[in-house]
Amino acid sequence: MSDVVIVRTGVANLASVLAGLRRLGVTPDVTTDPAAVRAAQAVILPGVGAFGAGMAALHEHDLAAPLKERAAAGRPLLSVCLGLQLLASSSDEAPGVPGLGVFDAHVARFPDTVKVPQLGWNKVAPDAGCRLLEPGYAYFANSYRLPEAPAGWSAARAEHGGPFIAALEKGALLACQFHPELSGPWGLALLDRWLTAAREA
């Protein structure tokens, strides 16, 4: 069993995630094997691209069920960028395509009053209840976002056409709309805190 497994979705920049983890001394396995996702101590669901394509890739490899099981059990799971959006129930980007439904929330497109996609650095402001998330600046690349925090999750927020969810956490579950692996020392420190929490879970 590998301690850390990255889900190969086919719609993710694995190179940056792998590089970030290796800077922390972690060498993860990359897999499409549902058994590996169930067995791993910690799992990362990355993603860059479209909601519909991401869900299709998960279903193609029978990965939706083990990911939902991990989240329901509170087992360590880190979701990045599109990975956060896939945890929701639905998205403007793919009408009629159900998400993983880890939380009941709808992902909406940024308003036309701001530049879309959002590309670059933005301030992240965590709620008082956050344990892993700290104030700082993170790198974002997204056209869609979660407007509100789902019930039971602590949230960090950012501003782009109004407030939106920059990240969510609940125990050893961490979901980041930004890319922690591209967010400099602040992002690597967040990854390190999550890995520590995963080992302790």
The catalytic residues are 81, 179, 181
Return the structure tokens found at 119.
């590309």
- Pairing, β 4-7 against β 42-45: parallel
DSSP letters along 31-87, please?
E--HHHHHH-SEEEE---S-HHHHHHHHHHTT-HHHHHHHHHHT--EEEETHHHHHT
Give the integer Cα–Cα distance in Å for 83 and 128.
24
Give the integer Cα–Cα distance in Å for 121 and 132.
20
User: How buried is residue 27: exposed, middle or buried, by Cβ count under 10 Å (0-12/13-18/19+)?
Assistant: exposed
